[in-house]
Amino acid sequence: MNIHVLVLVMNRLLVAVITLLIVSFTVFAATELLPGDVAQILLGQSATPEAVAGLRAAMHLNDPAILRFIKWLGGLATGDLGISYANNMPIAQLIGPRFLSSLQLAAATALFSVPIAMVLGITAAILRGSLYDRIVTTVTIAVISVPEFMVATSAVLFFAVYLKWLPALSFANEVHSFGQLLRVFAMPVITLSFVISAQMIRMTRAAVIETLGTPYIEMALLKGASRSRIVLKHALPNALGPIVNAVALSLSYLLGGVIIVETIFNYPGIAKLMVDAVATRDLPLIQTCSMIFCVAYLILITVADIIAILSNPRLR
């Protein structure tokens, strides 16, 4: 790795850290602006003003916001996620199983959608202008225009209500066999893959088409290289950066789509936990879940950028 590439990688990591600090401030400020009094919500409407004031003091809600932000940020940096207001237990213990369930759902979706999207995107680019390419392009555009909640609702109506093949709700803690695993993950994975695969196909197709139009590909054609050799040996390695970016951007879309999917299918993941925390005004839990989503998004984008830098032959 030469000095120029190392500087670019370090700059990208620095940008990620600065972005994370800005996002943490934004998340904290947004949760502070939520309506309602946390102490009043936890104690109920029948609570006396003295009890509400005492709980606010015990939870340090009367401290200045900037002081609470610094304390919260320091806790995140040291691994202390705080105590859940509504559950009265450490947030780390509360999030652990839910985070694992969300990771399992994301991994299953990626394993299912990425290979399909890569094959369809690359073959559509190679066969650009053919009937196959037009069909793939038309279908992907149609799929992208359909929101996740519509896909999820349609999947429930078709597979659960009409065909009765799959359960309408997903309970990851009830998995005891491979068949049950497929039944639990089928509906959420189908819903999430439906949209992110379409995005990946379009972006991968565009990246490969752009690479196939470069002068060195034309030179390889003039030299008599076979089409398969041109695609596998010349086009794909040089399109790796854009393709990785396409995959990372599409997978980052999981972070938004998973909130809708986990809520509709009652999947016990971290997104469902965050939605429940909003209903109970559990600020520390909302902040921690939001930061997990932000960190995951930044990691995906940063890793994609670094791979794009390292795979760029002009930089090497």
Domain boundaries, the chain: 91-310
Tell me what pLDDT residue 171 has. 61
Tell me what pLDDT residue 223 has. 77
3-class SS at 119?
helix
Residues of the chain with pLDDT > 70, as a percent, come to 91
Q: How much is the CA Rg of the chain, to the nearest whole Å?
A: 24
What is d(CA 108, CA 87) in angstroms, rounded to the nearest whole number?
30
Q: What is the mean pLDDT of residues 158-185?
A: 70
* Statement: residue 6 has pLDDT above 70: yes
* Statement: residue 1 has pLDDT above 60: no
Mean per-residue pLDDT over the chain, rounded: 80
Q: How many CB atoms lie within 10 A of CB 95?
A: 20
Tell me what pLDDT residue 172 has. 56
Residues of the chain with pLDDT > 90, as a percent, come to 1
Tell me what pLDDT residue 179 has. 67
Residue environment code for 221-259, b if the CB has 16+ CB neighbours within 10 A, otherwise e: eeeeeeeeebbeebbbebbbbbbbbbbbbbbbbbbebbb
3-class SS at 83?
strand
Between these two residues, 178 and 81, which has the higher pLDDT value? 81
Q: How many CB atoms lie within 10 A of CB 85?
A: 22
* Statement: residue 182 has pLDDT above 80: no
Binning the chain into helix, strand and coil, the percentages to the nearest 5 are 80, 0, 20
Q: How confident is the model at residue 195 (pLDDT cuts 50, 70, 90)?
A: confident
Any residues with CB less than 8 A from the CB of 78 and at least 6 apart, and which? none
* Statement: residue 59 has pLDDT above 80: no
**pTM recorded for the entire structure:** 0.76
Q: Which helix (H) or strand (E) holds 240?
A: helix 240-252
List Cα–Cα distances, 246 to 153, 202, 304, in angstroms. Answer: 27, 9, 9
Q: How confident is the model at residue 27 (pLDDT cuts 50, 70, 90)?
A: confident
* Statement: residue 111 has pLDDT above 70: yes
Tell me what pLDDT residue 284 has. 85
Q: What is the mean pLDDT of residues 55-72?
A: 81
Tell me what pLDDT residue 175 has. 58
* Statement: residue 8 has pLDDT above 60: yes
Closest C-alpha among 48, 33, 35, 29 to residue 279:
35
Tell me what pLDDT residue 52 has. 77
pLDDT tens digits, one per residue of 287-307: 888 888 888 888 888 887 887
Residue with tokens 């984008």: 301
Which CATH entry fits the domain spanning 91-310: 1.20.58.100, 1.10.10.10, 3.90.320.10, 1.10.3720.10? Answer: 1.10.3720.10
